Amino acid sequence: MLTLPFEEIEEVLVAILQNYNFSDEKAQLIARVHTQSSCDGVYSHGLNRFPLFIDYVKRGIININADPESIASFGAVERWDGRSGPGVSNAHQCMGRAMELAQKYTMGCVALRNTNHWMRGGTYGWQAADRGKIALSFTNTQPNMPPWGGKESRIGNNPFVVAIPRAEGHVVLDMSMSQFSFGKIHTYKLNNEKLPFFGGWDEEGNLSKDPEKILARERGLPIGYWKGSALSIVLDMLAALLSDGNPTCRIAEDGIETNISQVFICIDPENFSDPSLKDRLLDEIIDHVHDVPPMDEGDQTYYPGERTLAARKQHRKDGVPVSENVWKTITGLT
Amino acid sequence: MLTLPFEEIEEVLVAILQNYNFSDEKAQLIARVHTQSSCDGVYSHGLNRFPLFIDYVKRGIININADPESIASFGAVERWDGRSGPGVSNAHQCMGRAMELAQKYTMGCVALRNTNHWMRGGTYGWQAADRGKIALSFTNTQPNMPPWGGKESRIGNNPFVVAIPRAEGHVVLDMSMSQFSFGKIHTYKLNNEKLPFFGGWDEEGNLSKDPEKILARERGLPIGYWKGSALSIVLDMLAALLSDGNPTCRIAEDGIETNISQVFICIDPENFSDPSLKDRLLDEIIDHVHDVPPMDEGDQTYYPGERTLAARKQHRKDGVPVSENVWKTITGLT
């Protein structure tokens, strides 16, 4: 495992993206987002995912010159078309627009269709919280979990993000509807370990903790079994309905995950609460959760986003971890 | 088990509520909501819960004459105070107001503080969908689950509702953040059965499927383990922040669950989509989910709300089931 300075990684990614003819603005944004995700400890959607992103660019699946376009405006809700552009720049712009709508109406929503993978969903939560806004956001994906009772993957793991700004560290929840991502299950397999809880189904249709057996069929387990399955379905309906875009059942029919649908909801707390009173309330909730005796000796409870911030601080100081293989692949892209 | 006609149950409840000095309007609304929940198969928050509601009324915890009051207006977001009134009439009125805001701004939000238990959360999802509106709604509760890693119940199971209108049957998700409610776990205990999956912790801090052991400590398991725990925390933060009301850590310090906080978000799809095109999209998603081969022979996949509607149809025809004991208790309240 290498540890490299944030700025060094970012510069390398910018240069690669410029080589692939991204505009300076897009190159800088996308390089920063991938670097930040690894810096925050979300390697799977940071540097580890960069080669796959470039592969989609090379295959012409992602239109690097496309910017999202406002299609229609309905008061506090707007519909945008991502025109198959980069998922990161599309999502960044739409969250920015949702913030403007929230400033005006206190709550605003942008629904985005025909966009690409936004990488780490939490990115746009931190973006909003850094500007003092509350965000609720979600995306649909290709099918990767069976609906509860079914045998084939027909629903997406549809990441869901909630961000709440706070001076001492934003609260940011970034969760998908699957108990474990396939990336995480793959890591267990590499380490020759079982999952701590069920993560999917084996060939025979039994719930399993065996990474190899789960990966053989790629049927992920929804959080809370029937509950996460249902939540995935309604998030998909909302994303497709609001954006007039593709639902999960139309995505990746040809194996390529593109032209997905996303929703960005923003709330502006400055319109209704004093920032210090807001933080006092959040601190009260966080203290109550922190204060709890641990279930297992030495264990600890965290608020959503707490460990992200700890990883960020550490990696800004000591360097951002990146596997040698991944870094070799990335530097080979230039 | 008795089966009684919907109208007969409703009339009995109305008479009881009038005896307890509820206004005609509130008596009719509350009677209808409790009857409808049992009719829809949600007995725990329908007739089974009616005696506890009356107990709270008798103890003066619920102010039967209170109506919610608009405290402040911030564009598409409004803040209301429930003034310790009945949870059902407060929630009904606030969802109604959120619908009006949605008509005006396409998306509207009412945050309600100082209210009481809304009984079945799905009630307000069906209310919105029946008027052609999309709803997202949630409530906080008294603490009933440990935050992930902790030993004591410090977070609520915070029911979360998503409703999407559809001519052939609305899509309504009504889920709490706990894998099983204590009511459900109690039913397993009565039937001398184990839970099919972990539902909480035993005395020694081990995850358990044993209803008796879980009920001894009342530490419920969040859906998706650490994920549901985090989602519960952020929903509580949003409810308290938007309403300037109580977070879970201030609720039921004295054992009485009152003065809780709720959020009602509405979206008006008539502002941006043709109803028949909307339904075609929803049908496409539902068909894809229904169409899946079952994991277990003879099993089936349902869309959220589908079984509710089936129960409603059956019980409207054959009568609403109510246990003899519950009915005896209720009729004894007059």
Average pLDDT for chain B: 97
Asked if residue A110 belongs to a domain, the reply is yes
Strand-strand pairing, A2-4 and A320-322 = antiparallel
Nearest C-alpha neighbor of B46 from the set B58, B37, B59: B37
Res A334: pLDDT: 74
Cβ contacts of residue B317 below 8 Å, gap of 6+?
none
pLDDT digits (tens, 9 = 90+) for B102-111: 999 999 999 9
- Residue reference for tokens 């039937």: B191
Question: What's the confidence (pLDDT) of residue B252?
Answer: 87
Strand partners, A178: A222
In whole angstroms, give the CA distance from residue A178 to residue A222: 4
- Tell me which residue range forms the domain holding B81: 69-176+224-271
Q: Is the pLDDT of residue B78 over 80?
A: yes
| 8 Å CB contact of B303 and A155 | no
The whole-angstrom separation of Cα B38 and Cα B327 is: 12
CB contact under 8 A, A75 and B267: no
The verdict on B185 and B299 lying in the same domain is no
Chain A, nearest residue to B150 by Cα: A294
| Inside any domain, residue B83 | yes
Q: How many domains in chain A?
A: 4
Residue B84 in domain: yes
- A237 and A151 in a single domain? The answer is yes
Residues 6+ positions from B318 with CB-CB distance below 8 Å: B3
> In the prediction, which pLDDT does A254 show?
87
The answer to whether A191 and A176 are in contact (CB under 8 A) is: no
A162–B231 CB contact, under 8 Å? yes
Distance from CA of B299 to the nearest CA of A (A): 6
CB contact under 8 A, A285 and B228: no
Strands A77-81 and A107-115, by their bridges, are: parallel
**Lowest pLDDT segment from A210-214, A251-255, A267-271:** A251-255
Q: Is residue A64 part of a domain?
A: no
Query: d(Cα B172, Cα A180) in Å, to the nearest integer?
Result: 26
| Interface with A, mutate which of B81, B103, B241, B273 (most A CBs under 10 A) | B241
CATH number at residue B207: 3.30.60.50
Q: pLDDT confidence of B42, banded at 50, 70, 90? A: very high
**Does B25 share its domain with B54?**
yes
Contact criterion met (CB below 8 Å) for B145 and B220 = yes
Q: Are residues A165 and A263 in the same domain?
A: yes
Q: What pLDDT is recorded for position B105?
A: 98
pLDDT in tens, A40-95: 999 999 999 999 999 999 999 999 999 999 999 999 999 999 999 999 999 999 99
**Between chains, do A241 and B271 touch, taking CB under 8 Å as contact?**
no
Q: Are residues B91 and B75 in the same domain?
A: yes
Nearest by Cα to A145 from A176, A123, A188: A176
Amino acid identity, position A36: Q
Substitution target in B246, B261, B295, B306 with the highest count of A β-carbons within 10 Å is B295
Q: Same domain for A285 and A149?
A: no
pLDDT for residue B11: 98
Q: Which of A70, A73, A74, A226 to mutate to test the interface with B (most CBs of B within 10 A)?
A: A74
pLDDT above 70 covers a percentage of chain B that reads 100
Looking at the predicted structure, is the pLDDT value of residue A8 above 80?
yes
Searching chain B, which residue's CA lies closest to the CA of residue A231?
A: B173
How far does the CA of residue B275 sit from the closest CA of chain A (Å)? 11
Task: Please indicate whether, in this complex, the C-beta atoms of A76 and B74 are within 8 angstroms of each other.
Answer: no
Q: Which residues from B are below 8 Å from A151, CB to CB?
A: 292-295
**Would strands B320-322 and B207-208 be described as parallel, antiparallel, or unpaired?**
unpaired
Average pLDDT (A191-217) is 96
Which of B72, B227, B265 comes nearest A272 by C-beta?
B72
Average pLDDT over residues B156-160: 98
CA A113 – CA A247 distance, rounded (Å)? 10
Q: Which residues of B touch A244 (CB under 8 A)?
A: 272-273
**pLDDT tens per residue across span A140-185:** 999 999 999 999 999 999 999 999 999 999 999 999 999 999 989 9
Chains A and B form CB pairs within 8 A to the count of 244
Identify which of A224, A271, A281 has the shortest CB distance to residue B241. A281
A186 and A229 assigned to the same domain? no
Do B32 and B79 lie in a common domain? Answer: no
Confidence (pLDDT) at A289: 96
Q: Which of B45, B92, B117, B315 is catalytic?
A: B45
**A244 shares its domain with A141:** yes
At B94-148, the pLDDT tens digits run 999 999 999 999 999 999 999 999 999 999 999 999 999 999 999 999 999 999 9
CATH number of the domain that A18 lies in?
1.10.1530.10
Percent of chain A at pLDDT > 90 equals 97
Tell me what the pLDDT averaged over chain A comes to: 97
Q: A223 contacts in B (CB within 8 Å)?
A: 223-225, 227-228
Would you place residue B183 in the very low, low, confident or very high pLDDT band (cuts 50, 70, 90)?
Answer: confident
Q: Look up B117 and say whether it is catalytic.
A: no
Q: Which residues contact residue A144 at a Cβ distance below 8 angstroms, ignoring those fewer than 6 apart?
A: A153, A155, A156, A157, A178, A182, A218, A220
Question: What pLDDT is recorded for position B15?
Answer: 98
Q: Does A267 fall in a domain?
A: yes
Give tens-digit pLDDT for B218-272: 999 999 999 999 999 999 999 999 999 999 999 988 889 999 999 999 999 999 9
- Residues of chain B found within 8 Å of residue A150, distances taken between Cβ atoms: 289, 292-295, 301
- pLDDT confidence bin for A36, thresholds 50/70/90: very high
Q: Do B106 and A77 touch (CB under 8 A)?
A: yes
Contact A284 B249 (CB under 8 A): yes
Please indicate, yes or no, if residue B308 is contained in any of the structural domains. no
pLDDT of residue A183: 86
Cα torsion angle, B289, B292, B294, B298, sign: positive
Q: Are residues B80 and B143 in the same domain?
A: yes
Q: Is A186 in the same domain as A245?
A: no
Q: What is the pLDDT of residue B253?
A: 86
pLDDT of residue A112: 98
Distance (Å, whole) CA A163 – CA A132: 10
Mutate to test the interface with B, among A295, A296, A297, A308 (most CBs of B within 10 A): A295
Question: Which residues does chain B have within 8 Å of residue A269's beta carbon, measured at their own beta carbons?
Answer: 241
- CATH code where residue B110 lies: 3.30.1370.60
Query: Which residue in A has a C-alpha nearest to residue B300's C-alpha?
Result: A149
Domain-embedded: residue B155: yes
Whether residues B54 and B104 share a domain: the answer is no
Question: What is the per-residue pLDDT for B214?
Answer: 97
Q: Find, in chain B, the residue whose alpha carbon is nearest to that of A300.
A: B149
Task: Indicate the pLDDT class of residue A196, thresholds 50, 70 and 90.
Answer: very high
Q: How confident is the model at residue B334 (pLDDT cuts 50, 70, 90)?
A: confident
Of A150, A288, A289, the CB nearest to B292: A150
Mean per-residue pLDDT for B180-205? 94
Flag whether pLDDT at A253 surpasses 90: no
How far is residue A90 from each of residues A64, A291, A310, B15, measured CA to CA in Å?
11, 40, 28, 58
Q: Provide, as residue numbers in chain B, all residues whose Cβ is less than 8 Å from the Cβ of A104.
A: 75
Q: Is A241 helix (H, G, I), strand (E, B) or coil?
A: helix
